[in-house]
Amino acid sequence: MDEYGIDINHVIRHYDVTGKICPAPYVNNDNYKTSWTWNQFKANLASYRGNGGYTPSQNTDSGSLQPANTTYPATPFSVKVIIDDLNMRQGPGTSYSSNGYTGKGTFTIVEMSGDWGKLKSGAGWIYLKNPEYCTIPKVYVYNGLEYSLVFNPKYYSNKYTDLKKAFGTNADQLFNHFCTYGMKEGRQAISTFNVKKYKSYYDDLQKAFGSDLPLYYKHYIEYGKKEKRKAT
């Protein structure tokens, strides 16, 4: 719990996500092969935390480069389910009834609530955080903002021969260059966003940001995409 910053409300069973009777003693809430029931186990964890044995991890470094899966992509995005029996819940949580299982395949998520994603089909919500159940696209976070709307490492490398020569296909190094130099230089890192064209289209943005190109990338991520502004 301490390592991953998980609070007591997010300690769940395999059963809560997939519907499998696993672990059986905690699903049946008996003492079979264990000294505690599930209710007792949760109560003991809560007591342990209350006595100072657990403190959620804090990450206050909002200005850092975080090229790992520290958040989810902007919706909509695709997720690949790799098990047959991932529960589809009627709402974003294990307290909601199951609508059945997804089966293996690729699905589109159109809305997020915590670690739960709403399926585009309307069939329900699925739990996304466990990599044993599903895989999500890698995301790229800088200064607390997710940059997948304006950055794709493969596109960035292929578009600029100097970058391909220097970094090859190393996504983390490419993202580091993009954040440190690429945005300031006005480089294009995805087919759907060209910062120089985005700047030229909108007088209000030019008045607000002038020649500070990184702010145009940031504006598009936070507002421009939702406002359906032209970006190419």
Q: What is the CATH number of the domain that holds 133?
A: 2.30.30.40
CA distance 227 to 118: 22
Q: Please check whether residues 23 and 46 belong to one and the same domain.
A: yes
Q: Show the domain range for 35.
A: 8-53
Q: Please check whether residues 72 and 122 belong to one and the same domain.
A: yes
Strand order in the sheet with 87-89: 98-101, 87-89, 125-127, 116-119, 105-113, 77-81, 134-135
Residue 230, in any domain of the structure: no
Asked which of 114, 138, 162 is the last residue of a domain, the reply is 138
Asked which of 95, 119, 138 is the last residue of a domain, the reply is 138
User: DSSP letter at 69?
Assistant: S
Q: Are 127 and 116 in contact (CB under 8 A)?
A: yes
The tally of domains found in the chain comes to 3
DSSP H or E segment with residue 87: strand 87-89
Helix/strand/coil for 1: coil
Report mean pLDDT in 10-residue bins for the chain, 232 residues: 58 73 72 66 66 39 44 84 95 94 95 94 94 88 89 95 93 93 96 97 96 96 94 96
Q: Please check whether residues 152 and 134 belong to one and the same domain.
A: no
pLDDT of residue 9: 67
Instruction: Say if pTM beats, i.e. exceeds, 0.75.
Output: no
Residue 60, in any domain of the structure: no
Residue 63, in any domain of the structure: no
